[in-house]
C-alpha cells in the first residue's frame, strides 16, 4: 500500500458489483499463505467486505498489480536454518523459536483501533505471522503493544505444544517491549522492526528490505539473514 493511502467508508461511489470485490479479496487470503508480504494490505481491504466502494477496489487492483510484477517471489523454507536436523528420538534435538511483535497505535482512522502483528521464526525460517486489527480500542501505544505481545505469546504457546507433540524441544526468544519469566526479551529499533511490514504502509525501499527479512525471495541464495 502507498504510505499516503487512507481507506475510508464513503469517500467514493459504491461498487456496482460488490461480489467481484469479495471474491477477489477472498482469493487473496489464500495467496497470503505463501506471500506474507501482502498480509497487511489484504487485511486492510478485508475490512470493507460488507460495503466496498471504488477506492477500495482500486486498492485491491494495486495488490494484484504488485503480485503480477513479483510472480517469481515466494516464501523460502531452508533446511540450513541455524540448527542440525536429527532423528526425533534424539533427546538433545532442539529448535530456536524467535518472535517479533509490534503494533501501530490507533492506526485506523475510522474506529481508532490499533493494528497488531507478529512474525515467528524457527531458526531463520518464517513459520507463522499475523497482520490483524485489534479487537478493542487502546488508550495508549503501550496498551496496544501489550495486546500485540499477548497474541504473540498465545501463538508461541501453541507452536511449543505442537513441537512437544512431535517429540521436539524448543527455546523461545521474543523481541518485544515487556519481560516475562520464560521469555528472553530484547529491544528492536524502529529501523529493524520486521513487524512494521504487518502493521503499516511503508516506503518502497523499506518494504523491500523487510520483505527480504521474511525470507521472501526468487531463490534461496539471495535470501538475507535477519
For residue 226, name the pLDDT band (cuts at 50, 70, 90): very low
Instruction: Identify the pLDDT of residue 173.
Output: 61
Instruction: Identify the pLDDT of residue 96.
Output: 76
E runs forming strands in the chain: 74-75, 94-104, 115-122, 125-133, 169-175, 184-185, 216-217
The residues near 108 (Cβ < 8 Å, ≥ 6 apart) are 47, 114, 115, 133
What's the pLDDT tens digit per position in 25-66?
A: 999 999 999 999 999 999 999 999 999 999 999 999 999 999
DSSP class of 114: P
Q: Which of 73, 167, 83, 168 is nearest to 121 (CA)?
A: 83
What's the pLDDT tens digit per position in 145-163?
A: 999 999 999 999 899 888 8
Mean pLDDT of 189-205: 92
DSSP 183-214: -EE----GGG-TTHHHHS---HHHHHHHHHHT
Global pTM?
0.84
Instruction: Identify the pLDDT of residue 170.
Output: 59
What's the pLDDT tens digit per position in 73-95?
A: 999 887 754 444 333 333 333 45
**For 157, what's the count of Cα atoms within 13 Å in the CB-facing half-sphere?**
7
Is the four-CA dihedral 104, 109, 113, 116 of positive or negative sign?
Answer: negative
Amino acid at each position: 500500500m502507498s504510505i499516503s493511502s487512507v481507506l475510508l467508508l464513503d469517500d467514493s461511489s459504491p461498487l456496482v458489483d460488490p461480489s467481484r470485490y469479495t471474491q477477489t479479496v477472498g482469493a487473496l487470503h489464500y495467496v497470503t499463505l505463501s506471500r506474507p508480504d501482502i498480509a497487511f494490505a489484504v487485511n486492510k481491504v478485508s475490512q470493507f467486505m460488507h460495503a466496498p466502494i471504488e477506492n477500495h477496489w482500486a486498492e485491491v487492483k494495486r495488490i494484484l498489480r504488485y503480485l503480477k510484477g513479483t510472480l517469481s517471489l515466494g516464501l523460502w523454507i531452508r533446511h540450513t536454518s541455524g540448527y542440525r536436523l536429527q532423528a526425533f528420538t534424539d533427546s538433545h534435538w532442539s529448535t530456536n523459536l524467535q518472535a517479533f511483535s509490534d503494533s501501530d497505535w490507533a492506526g485506523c482512522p475510522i474506529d481508532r483501533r490499533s493494528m497488531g502483528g507478529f512474525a515467528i521464526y524457527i531458526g531463520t525460517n518464517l513459520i507463522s505471522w499475523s497482520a490483524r486489527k485489534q479487537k478493542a480500542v487502546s488508550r495508549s501505544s503501550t496498551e496496544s503493544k501489550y495486546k500485540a505481545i499477548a497474541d504473540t505469546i498465545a501463538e508461541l504457546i501453541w507452536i511449543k505444544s505442537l513441537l512437544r507433540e512431535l517429540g521436539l524441544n524448543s527455546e523461545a526468544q521474543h523481541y518485544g517491549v515487556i519481560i516475562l519469566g520464560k521469555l528472553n526479551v530484547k529491544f528492536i529499533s524502529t529501523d529493524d522492526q520486521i513487524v512494521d511490514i504487518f502493521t503499516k504502509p511503508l516506503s518502497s525501499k523499506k518494504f523491500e528490505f523487510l520483505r527480504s527479512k521474511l525470507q521472501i525471495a526468487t531463490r534461496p541464495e539471495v535470501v538475507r539473514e535477519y
